Amino acid sequence: MNKPKVFLTRKWPDSVESKLTSRYDVTFNPLDKPLSAKDLKSALQNYDAVCPSVCDSLPADVLNVENKRCKIIGNFGVGYNHIDIQAAKNNHLIVTNTPGVLTESTADIAMTLLLMSARRGAEGDRLVRSGQWTGWCPTQMMSSDVTGRTLGLIGFGRIAQAMARKAHHGFGMKILYFKPSPADPGVINNLHAVRCDSIEQVLQQSDYVSLHCPGGESTHHLINEQRLKLMKSTAHLINTARGDVVDSKALIKALSEKWITGAGLDVYEGEPNIDKGFVNLDNVSLLPHLGSATIATRTAMGEKVLTNLAAFFADQPLPDRVA
Ligand code: DGY
């Protein structure tokens, strides 16, 4: 019997690619660059499984392409706001994602950004590299304390809870969160976390605000000018969720005009094209979407896709089906 045909839109860790090629007839994208809509349509027409990543846009126009061979989209990533899920359902396309395995590494990056922003890490690095550092000085680059301060989480899923654990048990931070429905009492007790009634309350009461909601229409520009104005002038905003959860122009204004003290960003509206306004600001720490970028995590993400494909081709229930 012919092996199912699988298409990978980007380079994956070698060990996972080897396993894939031993099981399927796999085609790789040798350029390892995001594909055009035309290429993605052609992949849907020519392969049984297409495995995109978060930087491949799969809107209705692409998913509606005629004469599809594809039956399953095995997304390499937990977020799937780049895939029009309703259009996938309308086209009888199964979609799976990779939850669970990137929780800790993404929470680590959120904590990294919190610390970088609080302690002006990126700015200090730039100072040393520039040769402008003249030596220790009692008032140089004074920054914000982290230990014992208040962390407010908007969204309280796996990654937010992992960050809360690190912040509370590692740095003695007080935890506030907003999520429409109350979280598991065991989790709350362990973190002594307090649920706020609204996003506004989190913004008003926190020294650090970290965003952990999914991307998509319902959270587009959730953090806008009006909400940024509610934050303490000493506060920092951390975003490892999705870029368009924050109105970039409003954040640039807030940072330039010092409505807030700093921000740490791993994700951007329209990434990888970053609003130039961020680049010239010293009080924003910028990372290139590194949340899940550890060898172990990226390998585990690939393994998750493998497990879902194996289940699909064996007619078994899919562990991580989102459509
Ligand atoms: C995801 O999986 O959604 C991340 O943003 C990429 O690691």
- Edge-to-edge, what's the strand order for the sheet holding 174-178? 194-195, 174-178, 150-154, 208-211, 236-239, 262-265, 284-286
Is 240 close to ligand 1, i.e. is its CB under 6 Å away?
Answer: no
Out of 82, 149, 227, 289, which one is annotated catalytic?
289
Q: Which residues contact 184 (CB under 8 A, 6 or more apart)?
A: none
Token pair for residue 243? Answer: 């870029």
Report d(CA 208, CA 152) in Å as an integer.
Answer: 6
Out of 10, 149, 236, 242, which one is annotated catalytic?
242
Catalytic residue flag (residue 289): yes
Asked whether the beta carbons of 61 and 289 are under 8 A apart, the reply is no
Catalytic residue flag (residue 236): no
Ligand 1: nearest atom to the Cα of 106: 7
Q: Cα angle vertex 166, ends 235, 119, to 5°?
A: 40
Report d(CA 256, CA 250) in Å as an integer.
Answer: 10
Residue nearest to atom 4 of ligand 1 (CA): 77
Asked whether the beta carbons of 213 and 155 are under 8 A apart, the reply is yes
The dihedral formed by the CA atoms of 187, 112, 249 and 277, expressed in degrees to the nearest 10: 180
Is 300 close to ligand 1, i.e. is its CB under 6 Å away?
Answer: no
- This prediction's pTM: 0.97
pLDDT in tens, 263-286: 999 999 999 999 999 999 999 999
- Beta-bridge partners for 76: 53
Residue nearest to atom 5 of ligand 1 (CA): 79
Out of 17, 225, 271, 303, which one is annotated catalytic?
271
Q: Cα angle vertex 37, ends 31, 39, to 5°?
A: 45
pLDDT in tens, 10-35: 999 999 999 999 999 999 999 999 99
pLDDT in tens, 93-152: 999 999 999 999 999 999 999 999 999 999 999 999 999 999 999 999 999 999 999 999
Tell me, in angstroms, the distance from the centre of ligand 1 to residue 134's CA. 40
Report d(CA 39, CA 2) in Å as an integer.
Answer: 24
Asked whether the beta carbons of 242 and 266 are under 8 A apart, the reply is no
Q: Which of 53, 54, 80, 82 to mutate to test the pocket of ligand 1 (most atoms within 8 A of CB)?
A: 54
Report d(CA 186, CA 192) in Å as an integer.
Answer: 10
Tell me, in angstroms, the distance from the centre of ligand 1 to residue 119's CA. 26
Report d(CA 168, CA 164) in Å as an integer.
Answer: 6
Whether pLDDT at 1 is above 80:
no
Is 78 close to ligand 1, i.e. is its CB under 6 Å away?
Answer: yes
Tell me, in angstroms, the distance from the centre of ligand 1 to residue 203's CA. 25
Token pair for residue 323? Answer: 């459509």
- Beta-bridge partners for 176: 152, 194
pLDDT in tens, 163-212: 999 999 999 999 999 999 889 999 999 999 999 999 999 999 999 999 99
Residue nearest to atom 3 of ligand 1 (CA): 79
Report d(CA 299, CA 218) in Å as an integer.
Answer: 31
pLDDT in tens, 211-260: 999 999 999 999 999 999 999 999 999 999 999 999 999 999 999 999 99
Determine if residue 120 is left, alpha or beta; phi over 0 gives left, psi from -120 to 50 gives alpha, anything else beta. Answer: left
Catalytic residue flag (residue 303): no
| 3 state DSSP class of 220 | coil
Token pair for residue 256? Answer: 């330039």
Tell me, in angstroms, the distance from the centre of ligand 1 to residue 291's CA. 7
Location of structure tokens 């007839």? 25
Residue nearest to atom 6 of ligand 1 (CA): 77
- How many helices (H) and strands (E) would you count in the chain? 14, 12
